[in-house]
Structures are given as structure tokens and as C-alpha cells.
Amino acid sequence: MVVLMTFLVVLSGCGNDAASLTATVQAVSGKVEIRQTAAAAFKDAAVNDAVKAGGIVKTGEESFANLVINGQGTVEIKSDSMFELEPGKDYVAQNSGMAIYKIEKNKGGFKVKSPQGVTCVLGTRFMVRILDNMTVVGVEEGKVSFTGNNGETRTVEAKQKIIADDKEIRLSPTPFDAAGDSFNYLKIDGKWVPKE
């Protein structure tokens, strides 16, 4: 499964019309909740629920949600994750957990913001995973660019993955495998870290 995250950095050639970012729930399993605005309470998500600008989808333990991002593609949000369509922004935000994105080729591009930077794509299938002060971006097909909060930009090609923390972005020595990579993490001293 592929997880995709959106990062907050304005990259030339990779921006959406902020008003157009909406989504529709395609499937849910387990505890999945939606909050449409900051003032609203979370409610159980159901198939065909709309997620509007400002909306947040969060998944519980052993849960997932599939969303269609209107005009962009799909995202599969894995367990213990949070996905947000920030109002007035040209990106989606993934604040925790893992998501797999399949973005259709388009001229406008698509961005995912994470705590360590922004992933920008024009059409690809990729994963974004947030683990204790780091973001892992793996590409199954196509390529993405990742810009860290420090301004460093890296291109990630198919079958590659990068690991970004607050100090650096490094290419992983192990190739990215969409089928198994979402399980290639260990919990050490209470923190999730990639197996290397």
C-alpha cells in the first residue's frame, strides 16, 4: 500500500487552486472520523461523506479510509493517521501516520505537507509516512520532489525512498517496495524507526 503526504512549500509548477481541494469517502474500515471545521466535533465517517476545505479525517488503530480527492486521484489513509484539507491552501496536510496516494497526471500538480517538508507530484503513486520527527517518502511509479523545511530539495524516482528529519534528507539504501514497505518499521524505545 502506498501512503502519500502533502507538504507546505510552494513549488513552481506544482500548485492547485486552493478552492478546489475537496474529497469524498470511498471506503472505511474500523474507527474513522471526520471533522468538517475546527469548531465542529468529530463524527463517524461513512461511505460517500464529503470532506470539504478545512475538513479532517482521522483513523484509529487497525482502521483505514479510502478517499477520492476530486480532480486529483485517491488516497488510502492507514491506521493512526490524520489527513487534512486545510482551508485556503493549495496542498493537503498529513500530520501523522501513513497514507498511500495515487495521483493522476495533471498540469497543476499536487502537494502533500508533512511536519518535515512538502512532497510535490505531477502524477504518480507514492507513500508518505510520518514517524517520530521524520517523514519517509517512497515512490512506486513516477517521481516526486520533496522540499524539506530547511529548503533542500530532492527528487525521488520510482523504487526509491527518502528519509527526512529536521536536519537532513537522505536517500535510503534499500529500494522502496510498495507491497511491503509499509511494514518495514520497528518500534524501538517507544519510537517508530525504519528498518535498514
Q: What is the CATH number of the domain that holds 70?
A: 2.60.120.1440
Residue 137 lies in a domain: yes
- pLDDT for position 105: 78
Residue 13 lies in a domain: no
| pLDDT at position 186 over 60 | no
Residue 2 lies in a domain: no
Residue % of the chain over a pLDDT of 70: 80
* Alpha-carbon torsion angle 63, 147, 135, 61, nearest 10: -10
- pLDDT for position 6: 30
Residue 28 lies in a domain: yes
Q: Which domain holds residue 79?
A: 18-194
Residue 112 lies in a domain: yes
Q: Do the bridges between strand 185-188 and strand 191-194 make them parallel or antiparallel, or are there none, so unpaired?
A: antiparallel
- pLDDT for position 11: 36
- pLDDT for position 174: 86
Residue 51 lies in a domain: yes
pLDDT (average), residues 72-78? 93
Q: Where are the beta strands (DSSP E) in the chain?
A: 23-29, 32-35, 43-44, 50-51, 56-59, 64-69, 73-77, 82-84, 92-103, 110-114, 117-121, 124-131, 134-141, 143-148, 153-157, 161-164, 169-171, 185-188, 191-194
| pLDDT at position 15 over 80 | no
| pLDDT at position 162 over 70 | yes
Q: Do the bridges between strand 64-69 and strand 73-77 make them parallel or antiparallel, or are there none, so unpaired?
A: antiparallel
Residue 4 lies in a domain: no
Cβ–Cβ under 8 Å, residues 104 and 123: yes
How many structural domains does the chain have?
1
Backbone angles phi, psi at 95, to 5 degrees: -95, -20
- pLDDT for position 189: 62
Residue 25 lies in a domain: yes
